[in-house]
Amino acid sequence: MIKIVKRDEPSRAIFFFTPVLAIFLTLVAGGLIFYILGFKPFEALKFFFIVPIADKYGFSELLLKATPLCLIAIGLSFCFKSNNWNIGAEGQLTFGAIVSGGVALLFYEQEGFYILPIVILAGAIGGMLYASIPAILKTYFNTNEILVSLMLVYVSKLILDYLVVGPWSNPEGFNFPETRQFSDSARLPLLFEGLRIHAGIFLALAAVVMSWFIFYKTYLGFQMKVSGFSLKTAKYAGYKGKKMIILVFLISGACAGLAGVGEITGPIGQLHREVSPDYGFTAIIVAFLGRLHPVGIIFASLVVAITYLGAETAQIFMQIPKYTGQVFQGMILFFLLASDYLLFFKFKFIGSNK
Amino acid sequence: MIIDVNFVGLIIASIMASAVPLILASCGELITERSGVLNLGVEGMMIIGAISGFALMTVTGSLIIAVFGAMLAGVLISTIFAFLTQTLITNHVATGLALTIFGIGISAMIGKNFVGIPGKEFPVIFEGLKDTIPLLSPILFGHSIVFYFAFVLPFITSYFLKKTKIGLIVRAVGDSPESASNQGINVKLVRYACILYGGAMCGLAGAYLSMIYTPQWIENMTGGRGWIALALVVFSTWNPIKILIGAMIFGGLTIIQFHMQAIGVRIPVQFLTALPYIVTIIVLVVISRDSRKIRLSTPSSLGKSFYKDN
């Protein structure tokens, strides 16, 4: 007989083990889905998870996709740790891209070392501005931040669409929905000849270090974590709850905005309709899979980035629909949440240990 | 300028038609939330319903199988959510998000073979009465059975919650799971049932979109309606009758953009499309500003897990 018992306190070892378990279970379930769809499971999984990163180019693509995911997830970890449900990072990314893209267009055909920093800063500010809307509405009007941040995603994509089709569209562009190319000074430099990986990865790494420092070395980080555990305790301790909410939203908006900058000033170098393949939503999964821990998020962003690449490779080589990537992402989160059960409960074999 | 009364009737009818999926999904989610469960997977359940309905209709040719199949698909997908949040005590918000991401992915995967296939005509009832009463005829007659069901549902839901014993149990579980449990009510079972019911209604809402409203399959065709339905539940302060009003407002916003474009109003189309989302935010702000009122009408245990040691 097996009995399920509640643990006295959550297990620390299992806390870091469950993400690995979740990935393993996702692979098993994924293989099963491939089998049902009529593909050879092992071959499909190989095309999905190994072939895409087997060479130098593939590895560069992996880092390219992992960069925005890591950056956004780091920002979201601030929100989620303090119990603020910002699920509109996709909108903050888009708005950051719009603002930085607009600034980059102002410097059209101009060169100068000062341009890139201004463009990057503009993206961060754009993301912050956009994130401040749900934050302010939550703190001063008691409005649900989940719904507001999500509605703003749709609005931001429509603003972008309006701009690239209308006033900002390239005058010599034969009515394609895209802007003019940014000048070289407004672009994040590529790191290696022939590869698409760009300097944006340093922004992500800086964000990782910054978040680690704030969470583990400052009083502010401690306050954020306490507010996440219990708002009452935080109030009792005299923390400024409202300021905290706005602050975490601004940090997370800035990170998402920077991810937007990377998407448009990196390999593409112009604004167009689809600045992000839902990185803002996928980063939510990355944040959870990384256990809201800076280092965990780095690993998680690499794992989840493979689902983007794998979906493309599997589509080309095996005609597996590319949406399988999203299915995998949803499953990872399902399995992760499910295996959290082991954090709080354990199986006890009755008879052996009484 | 002479306004044709029948034209006005037609506009009102088209507003009502676009309100139908919102009413169905919101009424389903309202029951789920009344039992204390916050399921953010509405968008995912709707899109699963949309593809299941359309696929079953194309494959079997039977509209009845398709409609009920879509509801069953909604139930099945919400079972994942119920199992995770109720049996494995996971966080409601995160699980709901996973459900939406998963649902959008899997619907696109299934739907790959159904893109571009024309839908079937869905039978309408009372069509013979269409020219009998000016203004009212286009509103009252010549719609699908799902349309009529949607406009009755808020009243049934309200009656169910206020007047029936089971409705009372659902509210008790949502407001105080501890005392309900002490009264011998199986909280987990009630919540399971409410989640699955919500799934069925969202599945139906999706099927309405892909089989009746715009009879075809388009990827991501729910286009945020699931989220608007969630907002409507807050807007209604958990009162089903008010969902009707809210859904009509949003239906109106959707229809107005078509007509404004037709008249040639010089507003960018993107702005008109964004209008429902912007209005949702404004309405949420207005409703939520009074925090006391929201606190009084929100089910007290909404979104909180309940675990009973046994």
CA distance linking residue B88 with residue B230, whole number of Å: 24
- The string of pLDDT tens digits covering residues A318-350 is 887 778 888 999 999 999 999 888 887 877 777
Q: Considering the domain boundaries, does residue A192 fall inside one? A: yes
A235-243 average pLDDT score: 78
Domain-embedded: residue A286: yes
Contact across the interface for A158 and B105, Cβ inside 8 Å: no
Q: What confidence score (pLDDT) does residue A39 get?
A: 86
CB contact under 8 A, B280 and A151: yes
Q: Which among B105, B268, B274 has CB closest to A323?
A: B105
Q: Choose the closest CB to A158 out of B274, B281, B288.
A: B274
Q: Is B308 on the interface with A (CB under 8 A)?
A: no
- Between B208 and A11, residue with greater pLDDT: B208
Residue B90 has pLDDT above 80, yes or no: yes
The complex's ipTM? Answer: 0.89
Number of folded domains that form chain A: 1
pLDDT tens readout for residues A261-307: 999 998 889 999 889 999 999 999 999 999 999 999 999 999 999 99
A205 touches chain B (CB under 8 A): no
The CA distance from A201 to A71, in Å, is 9
- d(CA A212, nearest CA chain B) in Å: 23
Structural domain that includes position B44: 9-297
* Contact present, A155 and A98 (Cβ < 8 Å): no
CA proximity to A271, closest of A131, A189, A174, A169? A169
Task: Give the number of domains in chain B.
Answer: 1
pLDDT at A354 over 50: no
Identify the residue whose tokens are 């029948």.
B6
Best mutation target among B93, B250, B277 (most A Cβ atoms within 10 Å) is: B277
Residue B63 pLDDT exceeds 90: yes
Nearest CA-CA distance, residue A117 and chain B, Å:
31
- Nearest residue of chain B to residue A86 (CA atoms): B93
Nearest CB neighbour to A338, from listed B90, B112, B230: B90
Closest CA to A73 of A304, A286, A240, A271: A286
- pLDDT tops 70 at residue B239: yes
pLDDT of B166 strictly over 80:
yes
Question: What is the spatial distance between Cα B43 and Cα A94, in angstroms, rounded to a whole number?
Answer: 21
Distance from CA of B44 to the nearest CA of A (A): 11
pLDDT band (50, 70, 90) for residue B267: confident
B291 and A281 within 8 Å at the Cβ level: the answer is: no
Whole-angstrom CA distances from A326 to A68, A94, A262, A282 are 17, 20, 22, 8
Query: What's this model's pTM, rounded to 2 decimal places?
Result: 0.91
- 10 Å CB burial of residue B127 (0-12, 13-18, 19+) is exposed
Q: Kindly report the nearest CA distance between residue A324 and chain B, in angstroms.
A: 6
How far away is chain A from the Cα of B275, in angstroms, using its nearest Cα? 8
The more confidently predicted of residues B218 and A235 is: B218
- Find the angle CA(A260)-CA(A265)-CA(A266) to the nearest 5 degrees: 100
Q: Determine the pLDDT at residue B3.
A: 65
Question: What was the pLDDT predicted at B269?
Answer: 84
Cβ distance of A326 and B273 shorter than 8 Å: no
Report pLDDT for B131: 73
Q: Residues A34, A167: contact at Cβ < 8 Å?
A: no
- CATH number where A270 lies: 1.10.3470
Mean pLDDT of all residues in B187-215: 97
Residue A135 predicted with pLDDT over 50 = yes
Residue B158 predicted with pLDDT over 70? yes
Assigned domain for B101 exists: yes
Q: Is the per-residue pLDDT at A234 higher than 70? A: yes
**A 81-120 near B (Cβ less than 8 A):** 85, 87
The Cα B24–Cα B140 span in angstroms is 19
Give the pLDDT of residue A267. 83
Instruction: Compute the average pLDDT of residues B236-241.
Output: 94
Q: What is the mean pLDDT of residues A177-193?
A: 90
Q: Does A334 touch chain B (CB under 8 A)?
A: yes
What pLDDT is stored for residue B309 in this prediction? 62
Which tokens go with A261?
Answer: 């900058």
Residue A213 CB partners (closer than 8 Å, separation 6+): none
- A242 falls within a domain: yes
**Full domain range(s) for residue A130:** 2-349
Q: Specify if B4 maps to a domain.
A: no
Q: What is the pLDDT of residue B203?
A: 98
Is residue A351 pLDDT above 70, yes or no?
no
Q: What is the mean pLDDT of residues B82-108?
A: 93
Whether the predicted pLDDT of B296 surpasses 80? yes
Query: Average pLDDT, stretch B177-186?
Result: 94
Instruction: Give yes or no for residue A115 having a pLDDT over 80.
Output: yes
- The strand pairing partners of A6, in sequence order, are A345
B303-307 mean pLDDT: 85
Yes or no, beta carbons of B103 and A330 under 8 Å apart: yes
Strand ranges (E), A74-187: none
- Residue A327 touches chain B, beta carbons under 8 Å: yes
Confirm whether A354 is domain-assigned: no
Average pLDDT, chain A: 90
Q: What CATH code is carried by the domain that includes residue B41?
A: 1.10.3470
Give the chain A residue whose CA is nearest to the CA of B227: A147
Amino acid identity at B285: V
Query: H or E segment at A139?
Result: helix A115-141
Hey, what are A234's tokens? 């935080």
Averaged pLDDT, A137-158? 93
Q: What is the pLDDT of residue A89?
A: 97
| Residue A219: Cβ-neighbour burial (10 angstroms; 0-12, 13-18, 19+) | exposed
B233/A contact by beta carbon, under 8 A = no
Residues of chain B contacting residue A152, judged by C-beta atoms under 8 Å apart? 277, 281
> Distance between CA B228 and CA B76 in Å, rounded?
23
Here the contacts of B230-234 (C-beta below 8 Å, separation 24 or greater) are B230/A147, B230/B26, B230/B29, B230/B40, B230/B42, B231/A147, B231/A151, B231/B280, B231/B283, B231/B284, B232/B22, B232/B26, B233/B26, B233/B29, B233/B30, B233/B33, B234/A144, B234/A147, B234/B284, B234/B287, B234/B288, B234/B294
Of A76, A135, A136, nearest to A259 (Cα)? A76
> Given CB atoms, is B270 within the 8 Å cutoff of chain A?
yes
At residue B260, does pLDDT exceed 90?
A: no
Any chain A CB within 8 A of the CB of B79? no
Between CA A305 and CA A299 the distance in angstroms is 10
Q: Taking all residues of chain B, what is their mean pLDDT, rounded to a whole number?
A: 91
Rounded mean pLDDT of A49-56? Answer: 88
